[in-house]
Structures are given as C-alpha cells and as structure tokens.
Amino acid sequence: MARKVLLPWASRQGRRSFSVSHNYWNAKKGLVLGVYEKEKDDESLHLTEAAECFDHSVSGKLGELLSISGPALKKGKSRVFYGVHEDFSSIAVVGLGKRSAEVCGKENWDSSKENIRAAVSVGCRLLQDLELGQVEVDPCGDAQAAAEGAGLGLFLYDEFKQKKKPAVTAQLHGSTGSAAWQRGVLYAEGQNLARRLMEAPANHVTPTFFANCIQQELSPFSDKVAVHRRPQKWIEEQSMGAFLSVTKGSEEPPVFLELHYKGSPDSNQPPLVLVGKGITFDSGGISLKPSSGMDAMRADMGGAATVCSAIVTAAALNLPINIIGLAPLCENMPSGKATKPGDVVRAKNGKTIQVDNTDAEGRLVLADALCYAHSFSPKAIVNAATLTGAMDVALGSAATGVFTNSDWLWSHLHKASIVTGDRVWRMPLFRHYTQQVTDCQLADLNNIGKYSRSGGACTAAAFLGEFVTAPHWAHLDIAGVMGNKDEVPYLRKGMSGRPTRTLVELAAALSTEP
C-alpha cells in the first residue's frame, strides 16, 4: 500500500482525516475530472489531459455522457456520473472555466489557479456527500492548485459534534505533477491548521494550549526549529508593559511564544520575522464588546494562528530561509484587576500609552512584540492581526489590508498573493494618521487616537509604526478576512485561516532572493 501523508488534524485521535497518496487503491472510490468551457465559435469538448486519457480508457463514454446530460459545464459547475469505470463508483466532472484564463490585473490574482481550486473543491465535496472515503483528483494542469482546492475544500471543523462528515482521502490521479501536488497539500495543511485553531472554542484554545499545539506541530522538525515558551516572569523582565496591561484581567497566564526556524545553510542570514496577535479571546476588557457576535472573538488570535502555521509549513517544505515567529498570547477579560480606560502604561521601548479603550488591545500586545522583533536584526518584519473592525468596513473579505514602509516588501507580498489568490491591498501610512495617535493628553501615545471612528485601521497602523524602526516592515490587518461566509468558494463557512498561504509564498520567494 502506498504511504499516506496525514495532515495535522488527522495525526491525532479524534480529528478529521484527509490524506494523500500517489498510487491507486483497490477499493471503490471517486474521481474528480476537469473540463474547460468551450471557446467562442468552437463547439468541441475540451477535456483536461487526465480527463482525455480517462475518456480514452472508457472508449469515449465520458465525452458521450457529457454531451447528452445537459448544457456545457460552466466555471464552478459540476456533474456526477455513475458506473462509468469499474474502479470508480462515482465520477465528478467539474468546470474549470476558460483554458485561456491567466493572471488578471483587475482581480489581482491568477484566474486559472483560482478556477482550479474552486472546481476541485466542488467535486471533492460532492463525492464526500456520497460518503466515498477515497477520491482521486485530476491535476487540471496545475497539481499544486488542485491539491489546495481538495485540502481546503474538504476541511470541516466538527470536532465537538457526535455526528461527523465521513473522513476523505484525496490522492493525485496519475503521476503527473506529484511534487507540485505534495507542495499544494502542505500549503492547504498549513491554512487548515490555522482554521482549526481559530475555530476551536476559547475554553479549549487558551494561550497555554495554543503554545502546546504549535510545539507539537513543530516537533518533527526539531533539528531545524527551536520553540521558546516565555512565561509571565520573562515578559516582565523584558519590560513589556503594554502586553502585560492586556493580560491583567484574565485568570489564564500569558505566554510569549517564540519560534526559530533555521532553514538557511547560512546561519548568519538575517531572518524574516513574523509577528502575530495572539488574543485567544477578546471580550473587550472593561470596554466590553456587545454580546452579539462576541463568540467569534475566539478567533482574535488569527494573526498568531496564521503566522505560526506559516512557519510550520515552511519547515515542512524545508524552505532555505531563516524565520523567527513571535506570538504574544493572552486573553482580554474584564475583572477587578483589568486595565481601566484612561490608564497609562509603558511599552518596551519606553514610550507611554494612554489606554482610552481597552478593546483596542491588539496594538498594545503587538507594540512590545514589534520592539522585541528588532533585536534579531531582521531582513524584514511582517505582523498579522485581526486588528480593526474598520478594516472589515473598508475592504470586507476581498483582501487583507497591508500598511508598509517598504516598496520592496510590498512588491513581494503583492506577487505572493497573486499566486495564492489570497489577495492583499495596500493602505496608506500617512503622517496625517500618526498625528492623531501622538496628540495625547497624558502620555506619548493614545491607543485610539483623537477621532476614534475615522480611519480606524489607518490610525491603528500608525500607532504600530511608532514601535518600528526597521526599513522593511508590513502590518497585515486581517480582520476582514478572518471568517468566510460564501465569498471564497473553496472554503466552507467558518474561520478562514487567511492569509497563511500568502505568508508561506512570501517566505518561499524571499528564500530564493540573493
């Protein structure tokens, strides 16, 4: 039997299974095949290479069924056939759109890759609904995108439900593109790890549990990864007063999680430093949030989840780059010990902060983490955070907002997002916004600025910029992309794990740069 590569949640008892193999199994299984839309003035059927081979093996029966079963398949549509081949009980044929699809400047993504991801996910889910535990997938001309579509589309968080969807094994159909398929599996695996962490209830994913989980995920790579779990005493010794001010209201002890991945053969290579906001539950503190929708704040550690998952993926891919991950982990809760509106705290770099709104806590924990990031003489610093509702208002779920002081770093992030389809959009870092957070009555900075409702995402980024001196820094506000309703067709409803794959692609690109 072929070796199976299990995704993280399949490697431990009680978690959903999605595995990959490159050989055929004797058991009955399903098959996903692709078909392109007919081009203008061309009525012939355009099957993928794998679909053509399959059609030839069944003497043209697949093409005949497609021609008599209804109109030509449009992009994202599907059709299921039964009894076509003795090895496959069900065959899902999915529409890939135009064969000529390419990078679209208007959409800022590779349309061909996105079409494949969406189509493959549709086919896999159809066969999952038929309770087929094994599915072979057509590489559709881009095996990595096909693997991402399968892995991301099949993921479902039902860990606490008694009735679960059947576990599905997805494997490459044929042998063409096996290396790219495996790479796509790892990309999907990374994003699904972030989704699992973000989706889990906050009484399970505490700061301590989060650190345990990431440490366990990195244990196979212990020769290249060092994990440091810094306790509260260490945080105090580092004079991280802004971070500590957020932790005061909770009974859960904070953890400053520090990951060192040494993938470069040059140990002196400056690292890429990834920083993630790790609020495992955000009640708002004394500035309490409305109860409606507060349950979603279990995912307020989405920045830490995506950053840490990206490092797990980089290690699995053995990327030749040094990466340091920093995740300040804690809860933001109200209590008699919690920080009060109007309190003044001191950050690691000595700047004082007037905390007028305790629900603007993410920028406080990031402030100290960004200061600490500079101690590693980084090649670049990228932080990710579900920071502001204003970012959701500005861009919705279409793209991650990026604030950066570096055209070079922006170029790499933008190119990475075109490849992954998990888009980014550049936002302004005007002095106009900095003046709003530095004009403060009691301290050097105010954590919400003079006009709290105006340009909230921009003033939050300007606040973070006061703790950055590195020439290459980017702040990714991922509040708008935290969840998915139906906007991304290859993700089910729930927490999205975005933009994990874009961070991985960024690291991969930087690993090849001189």
Active site residues: 289, 363
Task: Phi first, then psi: give them for residue 85, nearest 5 degrees.
Answer: -140, 140
* Total length of the chain: 514
Cα dihedral angle (241, 382, 308, 177), rounded to 10 degrees? 180
Let me know if 203 is exposed, middle or buried by CB neighbors in 10 A (0-12, 13-18, 19+).
exposed
Backbone Cα Rg of the chain: 24
- Give the Cα separation of 442 and 444 in Å (integer): 7
Residue 498 burial (CB count, 10 A): 30
Type of residue numbered 77:
K
- Give the Cα separation of 18 and 168 in Å (integer): 5
Residues contacting residue 81 through CB under 8 Å, at least 6 positions apart: 62, 65, 69, 90, 91, 93
Beta bridge partners of residue 345, listed in sequence order: 353
- Give the Cα separation of 203 and 251 in Å (integer): 12
Residue 6 three-state SS: strand
**Are 418 and 310 contacting, i.e. CB atoms less than 8 angstroms apart?**
no
Task: Phi first, then psi: give them for residue 398, nearest 5 degrees.
Answer: -70, -35
**Are 221 and 318 contacting, i.e. CB atoms less than 8 angstroms apart?**
no
Nearest CA to 245 out of 198, 296, 279 is that of: 279
**Are 467 and 370 contacting, i.e. CB atoms less than 8 angstroms apart?**
yes
> How many Cα atoms are found within 13 Å in the side-chain-facing hemisphere of 179?
1
